[in-house]
Chain A
Amino acid sequence: MSAPPTVELRDVSKRFGEGPLVLDGVNLVAASGEFISFIGPSGCGKSTLLRLIAGLTPASGGALAVDGRSPEAAAADLAFVFQEPTLLPWLTAAANVDLAQKVRGVPVADRAASTRRVLDLVRLGDRAAAFPRQLSGGQKMRVSIARALSLSPKILLLDEPFGALDELTREHLNEELLAIRDRQAWTAFFVTHSVAEAVFLSTRLLVMSANPGRIHVEIPIPLPWPRTAETRLSQPYYELVARVSRVLRSVDTAAA
C-alpha cells in the first residue's frame, strides 16, 4: 500500500485578474518523498505554480490538494524557500530561525534545540550569532533553508534558491540539500534555470512551456542514490543533462 499522494493537481489553471492564462491544464501527482524540479523559459509560470501549491495565491480553475486537503488547510506541512534569503535583518541567524517556529506556534521549550539542529545541518552552527549583513550570499541562503527545515515540513517548496550563487557554491549546496534530505523526509518541489542542478537533485523533472504555462514533458531521472560529486562525472548524468538541454531548447524556440 503506497502513501497517498502528497500533492495532486487536476487540470489546474491560473490567470491574474482579467489577464491571459498563465497556467493551463496542469496535471501533477506527486508521491511522498519525491524530488520534483520545474524547468522552463522565463515567465512560463514556475513561480506561480509553486505559489499555488503553497496557497499563496488561489487557482482559477481545476482542483488542487495537498495531503488530501486545501493548501490553506495544509499550511503547517509546507515550508517555502524564496529566491532571496528573505531574512529579517535585525535578527541574528539563530533568531531568524527561532522566529519562524515562534510564529508557527512551536513551544519555546522545543525551539532552541531545533534551531541548533537545523543550523548544524546547514553547517552554520558557528555562525548562529551573526546578523544577516555579516553573512555571505550562500550562508544567508543556508540560513533561509535552515529556517524552512526548522518547521519540520512534509513538503518543501524552493523557488530558485541558488539562482544568485556561483557555480561551485551552488554545487556544494546541492550536495548538502540531498544530505539533509537523507535525514529529514520531505517531498520537494524545486524551481531552477540550471539543467545540471535539476538533473542532479531530482527524481523527476518537469519541463514547462510558456504562453500559457503547461507541463510540456516529464523526464524521470533514474540516477542512482546517494548522489555525490562523483555523480556529476558519470556517463548517465551527462546524457540526461544533454537530453534535458535539447528538450528545453525545443520548448524555447517553439515559444519564440
Chain B
Amino acid sequence: MPRKSLSIFLPALAGLLVIAAWYAIRFSLVADFKFLLPTPDEILRAFRANHAALIRAALNTSEGALLGFALAVVVSSTASLAMALSPAVRFSLYPYLMALQLTPLPVLAPICVLWVGAGLKSVSLLTFLIAFFPLAVNTTQGLVSTDRNLVELFRMWRASPMQELFLLRVPSALPYFFTGLRIAGTLAPIGAVVADMNAGSSFNDGGGLGFQATIYSAQAKFPALFATAATTCLLGFIFTGAVLTLSWFALHQWHDSYERADK
C-alpha cells in the first residue's frame, strides 16, 4: 500500500480499535460505575442535546483565544524587533520573559481577574501571556541568526540599516516566526480554556468552554462533559490547522521544511 493511503488507513484502524476497546471496558464496568465512561453514542447524544450551549461556548472561547493570540503576535513582533536590534534590551527582558513563562496559568488567573475582572478580558489577557513567549523567543532568535554572508553582501551594497532589517533580517526570520506561531497556535485555545476555568465568567451569555465544563462537572452531566472535551479538542485542531495553512502559504515555495515544488 502506498505511503499516502497508509497514513489514512492506519489512524482509521487505530480509531476503530480504540472505540471497540472503549465499549468493551464500558460493558465490563459494574452498573454503579458505568457513569465514569460514557459511550461514544451517549457523548454524541449529549452533544446534540447541548449543541447550542457548546457552540456558543466554543465561539466565546475562540473570541478570547483569537484576541489574545493576535495581541501576542503584534506585541511579540515589536518586542522581538527591539530585542534583536538592541542586545541591551534583549539581556534586560529575557529573564523576565522566562519568569513569566515559568509561572503557571492558574496562578496568574486570579491576578488577571483582580486587574481586568473575570470574563473575556481575563481570558484574552491570559491567552496573550501564554502565546507571547514562544513567539517572542523564536522570532528574536530568527532576527539575530541571519546568514552572515548575506549580511556581508548587504554591507557591500551599502544597504541602509532599515533596508538590512526589512529586506534581509525580517524575511529570513520568517521560518522562526512560524515555528513560534505553530507553538502559540496550539497553546492559544488550550490557554483560553484553562483561563476560562480559572478566570472566566458567564460572559457573552454563558462563557466559554472552560466555564461550560465547570458547570457540567458540577451538575454531574458527564456525557456533556465529555462532549465539551471533544469540542475543545476540535477547536484546537481548527486553530492548529489554520496556523499550519498560513505557514504553508508563507514558506512552501522556498523553505527547506517543505518538499521541493518540482519533485
Contacts and interface: CB of A to CB of B under 8 A. Distances in A.
Interface of A: 54, 56, 75, 78, 80, 82, 84, 86, 88-91, 99-100, 102-104, 131-134, 151
A100 B155 CA distance: 11
A103 B256 contact: no
Contact of B254 (A80, A100, A104, A131): A131
Nearest to B262: A134
A57 B150 CA distance: 16
A133 B163 contact: no
Given A84-B149, A90-B171, A132 B157 contact: no
Most buried by A among B153, B155, B253, B256: B153
A84 B153 CA distance: 11
A223 B158 CA distance: 38
Given A131-B254, A134-B260, A134-B261, A90 B174 contact: yes
A89 B149 contact: no
A41 to B, nearest CB: 23
Nearest to B154: A103
Interface in B101-156: 147, 149-150, 152-156
Contact of B156 (A75, A91, A102): A75
10 contacts: A56-B152, A80-B153, A82-B152, A86-B153, A88-B171, A100-B157, A103-B167, A104-B158, A134-B261, A151-B157
Interface of B: 147, 149-150, 152-159, 163, 167-168, 171-172, 174, 253-256, 260-262
A165 B18 CA distance: 55
Contacts of A89: 254-255
Given A90-B171, A90-B254, A134-B260, A75 B158 contact: yes
B152 A131 contact: no
A117 B152 CA distance: 26
Contacts of A99: 167
Contacts of B168: 88
A133 B256 contact: yes
Contact of A86 (B149, B159, B167, B172): B149
Interface of chain B: mostly helix, strand, loop or mixed: helix
A17 B233 CA distance: 59
Contacts of A84: 149
Given A131-B253, A133-B254, A90 B172 contact: yes
A23 to B, nearest CB: 19
Given A88-B168, A88-B172, 7 more contacts: A86-B153, A90-B171, A103-B154, A103-B159, A104-B158, A132-B254, A133-B260
Contact of A104 (B147, B149, B157, B260): B157
A103 B157 contact: yes
A132 B256 CA distance: 11
Contacts of A102: 167
Contacts of A54: 156
A-B interface, 9 closest residue pairs, ranked by CB to CB distance from nearest: A103-B157, A131-B254, A86-B149, A90-B254, A103-B159, A89-B254, A90-B171, A75-B158, A80-B156
Contact of A56 (B155, B253, B261): B155
A54 B168 CA distance: 21
A91 B168 CA distance: 11
Nearest to A130: B262
A91 B253 CA distance: 9
Contacts of B253: 131
A115 B255 CA distance: 24
